[in-house]
Amino acid sequence: MTTADGRWRGQHGIGRFSSEVLGRLEVDRAIEPGIRPASLLDPAYVAWSMRDRGREVYYTPGFNAGLRGRYRQMLTLHDLIHLDVPAETSVHKRVYYEKIVRPAVRETGRVFTVSEFSRRRVAEWAGLDADQVVNVGVGCSFPTASEDELLLKQERERDEAAVLFVGNGKPHKNLGLALQAIARLPTTYRFVTVGVDEPTLRQAAASAGVPPERIDRHMGVTEDALRGFYLAASCVAMPSVYEGFGLPALEGMAVGTPTAFVAEAVGETLGELGFPSSNEPDDYAHAVRCAVEAGPQLASKLRDRAANYTWDATADTVRTTLKSLDV
């Protein structure tokens, strides 16, 4: 018997993962929205929700965990940003991971993650063997580009280069590096953001010396609109210093758009088809330029690689692992 935590759905990475995976699983019961996952009261709330479930498995697509009980917990640690990135950690987060998350992971002896990079890091932190950390990967939620779309993309990119940044303005996303790179590139390079709030973007752009007329900002876009932004882009900018997987790189791949990146896990996603960079503006500007100037043959290769990542495969791995615990 499995109880799934259905509270993670939303317009963010874990939210996308939750919606796609839970929509494909057959579970016996779900914990629906109420207490926010990973909040102060959440460990007790999870334990209370599982109080009469015996040895049932509690599965969460996020990193939250409940207080100890008879039930078993199967968490998904996409990354350890809350511990590994100094600007995004705190005493509260470190205590939560040490006293709530790690005991839950160690007691079950299994945990999900989404990349080989995260699998190694989670195993090291939790004190588990690598084969106890199950890499389920992720998928792409919209269709790959058609041949006609790739041809239209090549025509459009002759006049102007759109550099697309999809994500928020948290420190590990490293928005400033992308803007510093844009400041070093010709004015025909435009910077397009989806998900960055206006004050954060305005401050970062001013600091980098990028005028407002070179930037297009969007929030709360639909799935179709997001796919359209990826198709219209000449390059996906992923200057993040740390990622568990790097979903925008995969979404760009699906429509033939190359990615300039810094984080190791993003390179794992892209293989030899990405454009790596250090955390230096000149180096990142070079990576962006190389991505923009890549030939049309790369678009087809990217699209073909993206086909290897599916939500069906992710859900199948989750399902198989949960069944192995449900004994």
- Identify the domain containing residue 158 by its residue range: 147-306
- From first to last of its 327 residues, what are the pLDDT tens digits of the chain? 899 999 998 777 898 999 999 999 998 889 888 899 999 999 999 999 999 888 899 999 999 999 999 999 999 999 999 999 999 999 999 999 999 999 999 999 999 999 999 999 999 999 999 999 999 999 999 999 999 999 888 777 666 899 999 999 999 999 999 999 999 999 999 999 999 999 999 999 999 999 999 999 999 999 999 999 999 999 999 999 999 999 999 999 999 999 999 999 999 999 999 999 999 999 999 999 999 999 788 999 999 999 999 999 999 999 999 999 865
Verify that 62 and 181 share a domain, yes or no: no
Please check whether residues 197 and 277 belong to one and the same domain: yes
- How many Cα atoms are found within 13 Å in the side-chain-facing hemisphere of 188? 10
**Class of residue 91 by CB neighbours under 10 A (exposed 0-12, middle 13-18, buried 19+):** exposed
- Could you write out the DSSP letters of every residue in 202-244? HHHHHHHT--GGGEEEE-S--HHHHHHHHHH-SEEEE--S--S
Residues 135 and 201 in one domain: no
Do 98 and 220 lie in one domain? The reply is no
Co-location of 110 and 175 in the same domain: no
Stated pTM of the model:
0.93
Instruction: Give the residue from 252, 199, 196 showing the smallest Cα distance to 219.
Output: 196
**CA distances in angstroms from 197 to 81, 89, 178, 194, 300, listed in the order given:** 21, 21, 16, 9, 33
What gap in Å lies between CA 317 and CA 319, rounded to an integer? 5
CA 139 to CA 46: how far, in whole Å? 28
Tell whether 103 and 47 lie within a shared domain. yes
Mark whether 34 and 172 lie in a shared domain: no
Cα separations (Å) of 204 from 104, 182, 296?
39, 12, 32
> Based on the domain organization, do 205 and 251 belong to the same domain?
yes
**In this structure, what CATH number is given to the domain that contains residue 125?**
3.40.50.2000
> Which amino acid is it at 270?
L
SS3 content of the chain, % helix, strand, coil (to 5): 50, 15, 40
Same domain? For 271 and 291 the reply is: yes
Does 151 share its domain with 289? Answer: yes
In total, how many domains does the chain have?
A: 2
HEC per residue, 3-27: EEECCCCCCCHHHHHHHHHHCCCCC
Structure tokens at 141: 């939620």
Please name which of 96, 127, 135 lies closest in space to residue 109, comparing C-alpha atoms: 127
Q: How far apart are CA 109 and CA 96, in angstroms?
A: 19
